[in-house]
Amino acid sequence: MATEQENPLRPRRFAPLDPKKHVEGDTRPVLKGIVFDVDGTLCLPQNYMFAEMRAALGISKPTDILDHIYSLPAAEQEAAQEKIREIERTAMASQQPQSGLAELMSYLDSRSVPKAICTRNFDAPVTHLLTKFLPSSVFEPIITREFRPPKPHPAGILHIAKSWMHEDRGDSLIMVGDSIDDMTAGHRAGAATVLLVNDVNKHLAEHEHTDLVVERLDDLVAVLEEGFVGRS
């Protein structure tokens, strides 16, 4: 059974993906895959949704939306889920790709790096984004909020590690996201974490669960070619 990693080794490092940059005696592990969040990571953030969801559910910050829904009587949970799904369906029509999205995915595919998704969205916005902006890219598995427990619990990332590598730990992976839930889930799974920084989340750049910060997705291309090195 996959278990949370209590003390992932820091700094996190991976060998260069460019074979020409491999040197004899390099003991850095090989990267075995990258896990991506969706909203705010693969697409531009649509943070207004969260206020709309809380209003629809009659809750306020800092109450976690999914925790609130799961705390409701079983007979009320589906109606609450449908309220937030409807907000997501409306928002997905205005999804816009992150800068560097296509370039990074093309690079990862050229290097045969497995890609997966771990998100707190439901499946429709994820399918819409992939169909519209990344029709030729494969992400497998895709973990949506139907998988429980959701981030910041590491279970989704550990499930991906098990699916890909039959390993009970995520320390061969990188988690890319834009929220504290992403950084914490990745850290607790033992994965290296990459924050896609913006004006709203820049305070997370110095968080202990954040290993590396990028401003664009395709900034990762050079990082991975040369060899990933997280901060100490």
Residue 137: closest CA among 121, 114, 155: 114
Residue ending a domain, among 92, 111, 128, is 92
Residues 189 and 86 in one domain: no
Predicted local distance difference test score (pLDDT) of residue 167: 85
Residues 81 and 126 in one domain: no
Predicted local distance difference test score (pLDDT) of residue 119: 98
CATH number where 66 lies:
1.10.260
Residues 61 and 37 in one domain: no
Residues 78 and 101 in one domain: no
Predicted local distance difference test score (pLDDT) of residue 21: 93
Predicted local distance difference test score (pLDDT) of residue 3: 59
- Residue 159, number of CB atoms within 10 A of its CB: 18
Residue 194: closest CA among 5, 12, 32: 12
CATH number where 145 lies:
3.40.50.1000
Predicted local distance difference test score (pLDDT) of residue 147: 96
What is the count of structural domains for the chain? Answer: 2
Residues 58 and 135 in one domain: no
Please identify every stretch of the chain with a pLDDT value under 50, giving residue numbers as ranges: 1
Predicted local distance difference test score (pLDDT) of residue 7: 55
Residue 22: both structure tokens together: 């491999």
What type of residue is 159? H
Place of tokens 């290097």: 111
Residue 104: both structure tokens together: 């990074």
Containing structural domain, residue 87 = 48-92
Residue ending a domain, among 92, 117, 147, is 92
Predicted local distance difference test score (pLDDT) of residue 5: 61
Predicted local distance difference test score (pLDDT) of residue 9: 64
Span between the terminal Cα atoms of the chain, in Å: 29
Residues 220 and 148 in one domain: yes
Residues 162 and 214 in one domain: yes
Cross-strand bridge partners of residue 12 = none
What type of residue is 171? D
Please provide residue 192's backbone torsions phi and psi, each rounded to the nearest 5 degrees: -75, 150
Predicted local distance difference test score (pLDDT) of residue 6: 56
**Threshold 0.85, pTM exceeds:** yes
Active-site residue set = 37, 39
Predicted local distance difference test score (pLDDT) of residue 10: 72
CA distance 125 to 134: 13
| Helix, strand, coil percent content, the chain, rounded in steps of 5 | 40, 10, 45
Predicted local distance difference test score (pLDDT) of residue 166: 87
Residue 82 lies in a domain: yes
Residue 2 lies in a domain: no
Residues 68 and 167 in one domain: no
Residue ending a domain, among 34, 66, 92, is 92
